[in-house]
Amino acid sequence: MNHSSNEVKQLMARASAMLGREAPLEACGGELLRALLPALVNGTKEKNTYVRANSELALRAVLRLPHDDHFHQKCLLLLEEGAREALSDVVARVLRRAHGDARDARDRDEDLDCTLLT
């Protein structure tokens, strides 16, 4: 995430998301997560919308949010205090937004008048 190119940052976030979905991160050890999580947190603070969005999606995949809170808590314990607080803040913001988006989608579905479909 320290690279000057937004394309490289996007690729790093997308590769991290794939890693989070496909790899057994428990077996990889804490070193990978100690390096990856702060980098993704930094990505969520980027000005570029694609980098920020891809970093948020990658964090959700790597931390297995919201499905595996135990793994998320385990990851928090790997980090130092400052990194732990930054990650917690980002996770709260991302999950709140994701929850709000899901609620908005349900509201839109509920507002649909089925009589118009016949």
Whether 115 maps to a domain, the answer reads no
108 compared with 63, residue with greater pLDDT: 63
Whether 116 maps to a domain, the answer reads no
C-alpha–C-alpha distance, residues 34 and 78, integer Å: 6
pLDDT digits (tens, 9 = 90+) for 42-75: 999 999 999 999 999 999 999 988 888 888 899 9
pLDDT value at position 99? 57
What is the number of domains present in the chain? 1
Q: Which domain does 23 fall in, by range?
A: 6-108
pLDDT value at position 39? 95
pLDDT value at position 101? 56
DSSP 114: G
- pTM, two decimals, is 0.77
pLDDT value at position 22? 87
89 CB-side CA count, 13 A: 11
C-alpha–C-alpha distance, residues 36 and 7, integer Å: 17
- How many Å is the Cα radius of gyration of the chain? 17
What's the pLDDT band for 105 if we cut at 50, 70, 90? very low
- Of 62, 59, 115, 64, the closest CA to residue 91 belongs to 59
Average pLDDT, integer, range 15-39: 86
pLDDT value at position 41? 94
